[in-house]
Amino acid sequence: MIDCIEKLLQLINTGDDRIKDHLDTLMDAIVYIRKLEEDKARIEWLSDMDQMTGHVRLPNECVINNLHSLRSAIDDAMLL
C-alpha cells in the first residue's frame, strides 16, 4: 500500500501543479499509515501464542471471554 502511494507521489511531483497542493495531505497519510503498520506488527507479535516474551495485562473477565483473540480481549477491556 505504501509503495503504491509513494509511486503516486512521484508521479504527482512531476505533474500538474494543482495536484501538488495536496502533497502535504498525502505525505501526512503516508506517515499515519506507516505508524498503523508498526502498531499492527506490535499487536501481531503480542497476539502470537507461540511467543513467550511479551505480556499484556487485561481484566480477567476480558481474557476469559476471549481466549481465542487478544484483539477481542483488548476490545472488551476498552469498553469497561
Asked if residue 63 and residue 41 are part of one domain, the reply reads no
Task: Verify that 16 and 42 share a domain, yes or no.
Answer: yes
**For position 5, what pLDDT does the model report?**
72
Distances (CA, A) of 29 to 9, 19, 21, 55, 80: 11, 15, 14, 31, 31
Residue numbers of the domain that contains 8? 1-47
Q: Considering its fold, how many domains does the chain have in total? A: 2
Are 68 and 40 in a shared domain? no
Same domain for 14 and 35? yes
**Cα separation, 42 vs 54, whole angstroms:** 10
pLDDT at 63: 95
Q: What is the pLDDT of residues 4-36, one digit of tens each?
A: 677 777 777 776 666 666 777 778 888 888 999
According to the model, what pLDDT value does residue 64 have? 97
Same domain, 43 and 16: yes
pLDDT (mean) for 48-75: 92
Query: Percentage of residues in the chain with pLDDT exceeding 90?
Result: 41
* 43 and 74 housed in the same domain: no
